[in-house]
Amino acid sequence: MVKIDADRLLNDLKRLRSFGATGPGVVRLALSPVDLASREWLVGRMTEAGLDARIDAVGTVFGRSRKSGPALVIGSHTDTQPTGGWLDGAMGVIYGLEIARALAENDATKHLAVDVASWIDEEGTFSGLLGSRSFVGDSIDESIRGATNRQGQRLADVLDAAGLAGRPRARFEPGRQVAYLEPHIEQGGRLEAAGQAIGVVTTIVGLRELRLRFTGQRNHAGTTPMAIRRDAGAALVAFIARMNDAFAQLADADTVWTVGRIELDPGSLSVVPGAADMYLQFRDANAVRLQAMQARLAELVRDFNAQGGVSVELTSIDEPMEPVSMDAALAEHLARAAEAVAPGKWLRMPSGAAHDAQVIARCMPACMLFVPSIGGVSHDFIEDTAEEHIVLGCQVAATAAAAILQEQWARRP
């Protein structure tokens, strides 16, 4: 069995953490100066590992193996949320780097090719999953021209200022790149609650993102009797209660929905809100259930509008994401590796979060491996995973990677 170097793995993870370190967490937004500095460091580490590494035209760091034969791509992302954790995405990229090194140092696996990727902007600072979408050949030029961050910076301008705009883009190589593995922290509490150390992902859930705009009548908060108010804010709150009841009747244990943002107009204590917006997201691994939830939401809107008083309009914020199943054969390699390295300490599970793997799966077989998140916390500075689980997960991933590539070599004519 190929052996990883635990100290080297953890040291690289901690060094990457230093780029944008903020308390226990990290602020490393895509294409920010500190993110670009971390990408230059990552290019250096990949080059030292014997990979041909570069930052491409959109900011993805891609380290291509110089070895012949079928290649396994291992990666994730190193950009963070505005209040990010140190492992979200970053762990999978450093796993890829360590696995490439470990396989090269083992006589039985030194011929195996591993490409390593840090996809740009998985977190959506400008345009979510941008790097993986570029890699699979999606038309992203419009996204580049139109995308801005919260500060109003244009993505096209940022890429140009960084000297990236004219570079070639990392692209999928059919026939050479045969599979994709994305190791990641769970970002939830299922593994910890079950006392397990490894999750083999079956499906990445689909999601819908919508805005509901309530329109009433702005008025004086002191002189307008309750009976004649057309309070958009109160209507929004009442609608959420109805929606929660309706969704609960359709849901299973893995269905989730979130009202992540509410905006009241004008947002004054002395004014009855004349308009109110709520931003809704719901996720499920079952495409039929997602469709049913959206249909039920539309029914609730129709029923609400029929009552008069305050009206509500439903619009989509973004294109829907459909659930994506992970490749069954690759998942079996992960399961066998987990049983070999951590017998009885693994389970199969869906991913409730979106990942680059769901995009990469459009061009080649893809799989994901999870390690536990302490307290189930992610997208927060206190996100963490026990070092023993980080090391164990990398050993499982390395064992699976070797088996996947050896199987590919055995199939060669």
Q: Report whether 263 contacts 184 (CB < 8 A).
A: no
Q: Which of 373, 370, 372, 354 is nearest to 282 (CA)?
A: 354
Q: How do 71-77 and 177-185 pair as beta strands?
A: parallel
Annotated binding residue 333: no
Helices (H), 204-265: 232-250
What secondary structure does DSSP assign to 126-137, as a single string? SSTTHHHHHHTT
Compute the distance between CA of residue 203 and CA of residue 116 in angstroms, rounded to an integer. Answer: 22
Both tokens assigned to 312: 């509500």
> Of 360, 379, 318, 370, whose CA–CA distance to 131 is shortest?
360
Torsion on CA atoms 395, 401, 404, 405, rounded to nearest 10 = -130
Distance CA(311)–CA(216), nearest Å, equals 7
Give the span between the Cα atoms of 207 and 369, in whole angstroms.
Answer: 21
Q: Please check if 111 is assigned to a binding site.
A: no
Tokens of 191: 């593994």
> Residue 40 half-sphere exposure, CB side, CA atoms within 13 Å?
10
211 strand-pairing partners = 279, 315
Q: From the CB of residue 316, how many other CB atoms can be counted at a distance below 10 Å?
A: 11
Q: Which of 396, 403, 385, 413 is nearest to 189 (CA)?
A: 385
Distance between start and end Cα atoms, the chain: 25
Give Cα 36 to chain centroid, integer Å.
20
Q: Is 123 annotated as a binding residue?
A: yes
Strand 256-265 to strand 177-185: parallel, antiparallel, or no bridges (unpaired)?
unpaired
Please give the sequence-ordered ranges of beta strands (E in DSSP) within 96-246, or none if there are none.
113-119, 177-185, 198-204, 206-215, 219-220
d(CA 255, CA 283): 6
Q: Which amino acid, one-letter code, is at 173?
A: E
Cα gap 72→56, rounded to integer Å: 19
77 marked as part of a ligand binding site: yes
Q: Which helix (H) or strand (E) holds 193?
A: helix 190-194
88 is in an annotated binding site: yes
Radius of gyration of the chain (CA): 23
Binding residues: 77, 88, 123, 184, 379
Binding residues for Zn(2+): 77, 88, 123, 184, 379
